[in-house]
């Protein structure tokens, strides 16, 4: 969220990314562990930086700690820059500097033999793919956008970075299986879906990666469906009650030709507590709203797998 | 100094009371419609206009074909989603 509102809100950086670079966004926690062609290439780049090169013996082994940040690299695998600083002015300067270096190295190589590039199709067919990562959304199922916002309760701040978190709208995806989709079309909300919504999506992820709820922390989750209207409620809290969410749920659903064509749901309630990566919530109980909207594939983030499925799809969406 | 502290304390209490009031509002049909509209991504946000790739190998091929460097935004959690 910080990057979106700082580095990638800078018009000149955005222009450079569109016109001079090939931009790619990835979850490095997955990519650095992938034992496949993509993981190999990522590790090959990351270990060229001293911060990460020291932690691994070779590019084949997984880098053991986070490698998050910004990288600039060539297609041949040369790292030109690693930077983990969010100052847009500094980033812009470094990007321009590296573009000049890149252009200069291209001129130096102008007399050399050209790099032979395979077509996309040929290359892709040769790529190794680690099936433990990069999950596909369920066939015949639904992808629903989930977005959360804290509606108030933060103390005033002059800190621009903290302000970004305080006004952030989070984004995740809810996956609904084909069987669950069929059940909704028939007017029933299956328990499996209710519990997935409660455990993985009724969370405060506006300041970073949230802790998901354990099954026994879900004290109540109810969503009745009648005449295309959802009404319900949820009560979820940790065993010592240091984190929780107590919410009302309301929604509208539309079905046409055997498929859900509208899935608009809102949860509104009191939230409390924090996780290790969602520090500095408002004090006490604060209002948290979470919206659900059927994804139509027009947003790049529609293709991402749910945060709760990270590393273990079966726990999120049992077969 | 005491006045500044008192002022901050009063402001903090007001914020907490306002937050409690906001949350106690019932989720009526009107409130549902308003919140659902409010909790949607801003399509005009600059970062969303960038043609992000989500596959490093695809980006690598494009970089080779277009003779451009690759810019990687690597985060804990997917940067286009929850981070």
Q: What is the pLDDT of residue B56?
A: 97
What ipTM was predicted for this assembly?
A: 0.86
Question: Is B12 within a domain?
Answer: yes
As averages over each run of 10 residues, the pLDDT of chain A (319 residues) reads 88 98 95 94 91 60 82 97 92 97 86 51 70 89 97 94 91 97 96 98 94 97 96 98 98 97 98 96 97 94 91 87
Question: Is B74 within a domain?
Answer: no
For residue B1, pLDDT beyond 60: no
Would you call A31 an interface residue with chain B, using a CB distance cutoff of 8 Å? Answer: yes
Q: What is the pLDDT of residue B26?
A: 87
Contacts of A24 in chain B (CB under 8 A): 52-56, 58-59, 70-73
Q: What is the pLDDT of residue A121?
A: 41
CB A205 within 8 A of CB B82: yes
Nearest to A71 among B16, B20, B74 (CB): B74
| Total domains in the fold of chain B | 1
First to last CA, chain B: 39
Question: Is B83 within a domain?
Answer: no
Residues A156-191: tens digit of each pLDDT: 999 988 898 899 999 999 999 999 999 999 999 999
Residues B47-76: tens digit of each pLDDT: 999 999 999 999 999 999 999 999 999 998
Nearest to B47 among A8, A106, A145 (CB): A8
Q: Locate the chain A residue with the closest alpha carbon to B45.
A: A9
Q: What is the pLDDT of residue A260?
A: 98
A296-307 CB burial, b ≥16 within 10 A, e <16:
eeebbbbbbbbb
Residues B2-54: tens digit of each pLDDT: 555 555 555 555 555 555 545 556 899 999 999 999 999 998 899 999 999 99
Question: Is B38 within a domain?
Answer: yes
Question: Is B25 within a domain?
Answer: yes
d(C-alpha A197, C-alpha A247), whole Å: 13
Q: And the tokens for A142?
A: 């639904």
CB A229 within 8 A of CB A193: no
Residues B73-82: tens digit of each pLDDT: 999 889 998 6
Question: Is B78 within a domain?
Answer: no
The alpha-carbon gap from A83 to the nearest alpha carbon of chain B, in Å, equals 10
CB A123 within 8 A of CB B63: no
The alpha-carbon gap from A10 to the nearest alpha carbon of chain B, in Å, equals 8
Q: pLDDT over 90 for what percent of chain A?
A: 75
Question: Is B75 within a domain?
Answer: no
Instruction: Give SS3 for A235.
Output: strand
Structural domain span for residue B19: 2-66
Question: Is B40 within a domain?
Answer: yes
The alpha-carbon gap from A114 to the nearest alpha carbon of chain B, in Å, equals 11
């Amino acid at each position: 969220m910080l990057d979106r509102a700082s580095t990638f809100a800078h018009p000149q950086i955005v222009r450079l990314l569109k016109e001079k670079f090939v931009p790619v966004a990835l979850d490095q926690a997955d990519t650095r562990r992938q034992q496949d062609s993509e993981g190999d290439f990522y590790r090959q780049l990351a270990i060229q930086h001293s911060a990460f090169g020291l932690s691994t013996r070779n590019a084949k082994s997984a880098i053991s700690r986070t490698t998050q940040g910004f990288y600039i690299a060539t297609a041949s695998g040369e790292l030109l820059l690693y930077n983990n600083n969010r100052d847009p002015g500094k980033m812009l300067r470094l990007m321009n500097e590296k573009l000049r270096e890149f252009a200069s190295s291209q001129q130096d190589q102008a007399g050399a033999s050209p790099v032979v590039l395979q077509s996309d199709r040929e290359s892709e067919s040769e790529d190794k793919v680690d099936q433990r990562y990069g999950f596909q959304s369920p066939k015949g199922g639904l992808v629903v956008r989930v977005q959360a916002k804290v509606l108030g309760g933060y103390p005033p701040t002059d800190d621009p970075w903290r302000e970004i978190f305080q006004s952030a709208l989070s984004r995740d995806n809810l996956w609904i299986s084909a069987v669950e989709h069929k059940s909704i079309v028939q007017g029933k909300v299956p328990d499996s879906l209710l519990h997935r919504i409660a455990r993985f999506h009724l969370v405060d992820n506006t300041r970073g990666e949230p802790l998901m709820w354990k099954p026994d922390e879900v004290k109540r989750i109810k969503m009745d469906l009648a005449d295309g209207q959802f009404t319900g409620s949820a009560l979820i809290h940790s065993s010592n009650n240091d984190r929780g969410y107590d919410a009302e749920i309301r929604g509208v659903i539309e079905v046409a030709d055997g498929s859900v064509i509208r899935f608009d749901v809102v949860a509104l309630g009191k939230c409390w507590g924090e996780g290790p990566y969602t520090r500095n919530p408002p004090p006490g109980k604060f209002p948290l709203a979470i919206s659900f909207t059927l994804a139509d594939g027009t947003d790049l983030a529609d293709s991402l797998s749910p945060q709760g499925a990270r590393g273990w799809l079966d726990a999120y969406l049992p077969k | 100094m005491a006045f500044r502290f008192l002022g901050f304390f009063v402001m903090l209490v007001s914020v907490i009371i306002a937050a409690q009031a906001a949350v106690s509002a019932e989720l009526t049909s009107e409130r549902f419609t308003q919140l659902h509209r409010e909790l949607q991504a801003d399509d005009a946000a600059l970062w969303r206009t960038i043609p992000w790739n989500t596959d490093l190998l695809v980006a690598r091929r494009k970089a080779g074909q277009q003779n451009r460097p690759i810019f990687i935004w690597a985060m804990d959690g997917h940067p286009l989603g929850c981070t």
